[in-house]
Amino acid sequence: MNVTLPSDHDLAGFVLREARLLDDLRFDDWLALFTDDGHYWMPLQHGQTDPRLVCSLMYEDKLLLQVRIERLHGARTFSQQPISRCHHLLQAPSVESRDEAAGLYVTRTAFHYVEARQDEQQLHAGWATHTLKSTPEGLRIQLKRVDLVNCDAAFGNLQLFM
């Protein structure tokens, strides 16, 4: 069976399309990009290596992400009336590693992220590391790690996804 391996351009394009789905508030389509065992992780400490033994800002599996998305869609979610909007400004994603045998690829992308609701706006900067898995359906996110520059600061509510 001939399998076409993703190029660096394919991997970078995937990361850019993922951010576009978030900016367009297409959360259900975004969630479909995750593997069934996928996770979204936002460490609380610089250089943190374990999301389970050390507190994190977020460490959510696909089920918890689905719950958050359903809350965002909810008519009684008053924190989203009017809805929040977001914008990702990404540096060109770099491919950090390729494991062709396992079908795993790691990218790293510096970003600025803006989340706005009414007259309030939050700006965050950091790096997103995607561990992408090649599946029969195409590339999927096995892990999205979001390292904020000021991860150890006090934060208000983050409503959406970086």
- pTM assigned to the model: 0.93
Residue 87, pLDDT score: 96
Instruction: Judge whether 65 lies within some domain.
Output: yes
Instruction: Judge whether 96 lies within some domain.
Output: yes
30 to each of 44, 66, 95, 140, how far by Cα in Å?
Answer: 24, 10, 21, 10
Mapping DSSP to helix (H, G, I), strand (E, B) and coil, where does residue 55 land?
Answer: coil
CATH for 40: 3.10.450.50
Buried (b) or exposed (e) across 63-75, using 16+ Cβ within 10 A? eebeebeeebeee
Residue 81, pLDDT score: 76
Instruction: Judge whether 157 lies within some domain.
Output: no
The count of domains in the chain is 1
Instruction: Judge whether 117 lies within some domain.
Output: yes
Profile the chain (162 residues) by mean pLDDT over runs of 10 residues: 82 98 97 98 95 93 95 78 90 97 97 92 96 96 97 84 90
Instruction: Judge whether 23 lies within some domain.
Output: yes
Instruction: Judge whether 1 lies within some domain.
Output: no
Give the structural domain span for 127: 8-148
Instruction: Judge whether 161 lies within some domain.
Output: no
Instruction: Judge whether 156 lies within some domain.
Output: no
